[in-house]
Structure 1
Amino acid sequence: MDMQARNHNYHFALLLLFLFLSWYSATAQDLVRSSCAHARYPALCIKTLTPYATPSATALDLAKSAVRVSLAHSRSLSTYVTTLHSQMQQQSSSSAERVALNDCIAQIADSVDEFTRTLSELKNMQVGTTSFQWHMSNAQTWTSTSLTNCYSCMNGFGGVVSKVGLDVKQRVNSLGMLTSNALYLITRIGGAANGVRGGN
């Protein structure tokens, strides 16, 4: 085979690879957009799921990814508020702020546990089995409770207007938005939203 033929084959192979990657990316993006279209925070949902989406992903796969992201954020937030509390113990701060932060530490720690339990339920869930609804109910309960924890933490800082209080509220609100989307995606597995069948 001469050099010109080899170059032609090489460029043809590159073109096929480019076309495949373009199709793969577009299909994954379409899946994410359709899955997130009716989430409470669709733009955040798309941003969260895009790195994990593949054309063959199911509603269950996307829900798992959303919960994993929420779990990672809750762990990071738990470390942050715990460290912040230790620092405040050595500084002058209002008693209301300390009480709110102390409560928030417990609530976010509970959220870490709840997301861990949720992910375990999703891993054991199989669409169409007799135990599906049981796992679904548990996953919804744990995620909903975690969302309540976020609201409780933010409400505890309701009267606190310090920089620390505002920063904590902003971080917890971000986790709450992720959690709300995760709860929607979990519900979507069983076709409770928009007529979607589980696993699609």
Structure 2
Amino acid sequence: MAKPKPSLPFSFFLLFLLLSLTITPSQSFVPNHPIPAPTSFIVSSCRATRYPALCVHCLAAYGGAIQRSDHHLAQAALIVSLARARSAASFVAKLSQARRIKLRELRAVRDCVENMGDSVDGLADSVRELGRSGRDVGRDFTWHMSNVETWVSAALTDENTCMNGFGGRAMDGAVKVAVRQRVVDVAQVTSNALALVNRFASRHRPVTVAAGEP
């Protein structure tokens, strides 16, 4: 399958998204201007995700950059997920230094700090790798996309592992609520990003012909 033509130079696309993300926990990375109506392409694409309403909400502001590019859509979803993961990781790291925190909660928080750090690393690697995939076709494309899918899936596992550390009624309390509020949101956004990455890969991965077939 022919490589899809990007609607604008990819480096400019990444720069646009990185500059337009407002990294403030209270606004959950929603740009500090009214969100435009989502494009039909974003709405229809987000139906492939587990949390379609959240998907549309996160990506609607970038419709002009995404246009109708599966590649740009997946890249935008990963960048938003990375930004939220970084904010959640920073919050949890600060929480690990809080006073008057129970020992079992402190242990869970410290484990979560490590999990979220791994998640951030995996998502950052995925953003870079997906950028490289847009310049390749054939076996190179398949290799890049396999890396991206593996790393995003691992990042999602890290996020869920963080929350698993707060399982059980003994962990109920303000610390668990605060961590859950941020990390569950990140996990949902990452789940959506993974679905859009898988969708892009399945649409553009080259078709292999078995030996002996015409």
TM-score when scaled to structure 2?
0.73
Choose the corresponding residue for 1:119, options 123, 127, 137: 127
Partner Cα separation in structure 1 for residue 158 and residue 74 of structure 2: 20
Structure 1 counterpart SS, 2:133: coil
Cα RMSD over matched residues?
A: 1.8
Task: Name structure 1 gaps, 5 residues minimum.
Answer: 1-24, 192-196
TM-superposition CA deviations, 1:169-195 (whole Å, max 9, x none): 12110000000000000001123xxxx
Q: Which residue of 2 aligns with 1:13?
A: none
Over alpha carbons, which structure has the higher Rg? 1
Q: Which residue of 1 aligns with 2:160?
A: 151
Identity %: 39
Q: Name the aligned partner's letter for residue 42 of structure 1.
A: P
Note the 1:159-198 alignment, pairs <5 A.
159=168, 160-191=171-202, 197-198=203-204
Partner Cα separation in structure 2 for residue 145 and residue 105 of structure 1: 15
Partner Cα separation in structure 2 for residue 173 and residue 70 of structure 1: 12
Q: Which residue of 2 aligns with 1:30?
A: 40
Shift of 1:164: 1.3
Work out the number of aligned pairs and report it.
Answer: 166
Structure 2 counterpart SS, 1:68: helix
Note the 1:28-107 alignment, pairs <5 A.
29-54=39-64, 56-87=67-98, 91-107=99-115
Q: Name the aligned partner's letter for residue 73 of structure 1.
A: R
Whether the aligned pair in 1 keeps the contact of 2:122 and 2:154 (CA below 8 Å) is yes
Partner Cα separation in structure 2 for residue 41 and residue 97 of structure 1: 29
Structure 1 counterpart SS, 2:192: helix
Shift of 1:130: 2.5
Structure 1 runs (4+) greater than 2 angstroms displaced? 54-57, 126-130
Q: Name the aligned partner's letter for residue 155 of structure 1.
A: N
Choose the corresponding residue for 1:128, options 124, 131, 137: 137
Shift of 1:140: 0.5
Higher helix share: 1
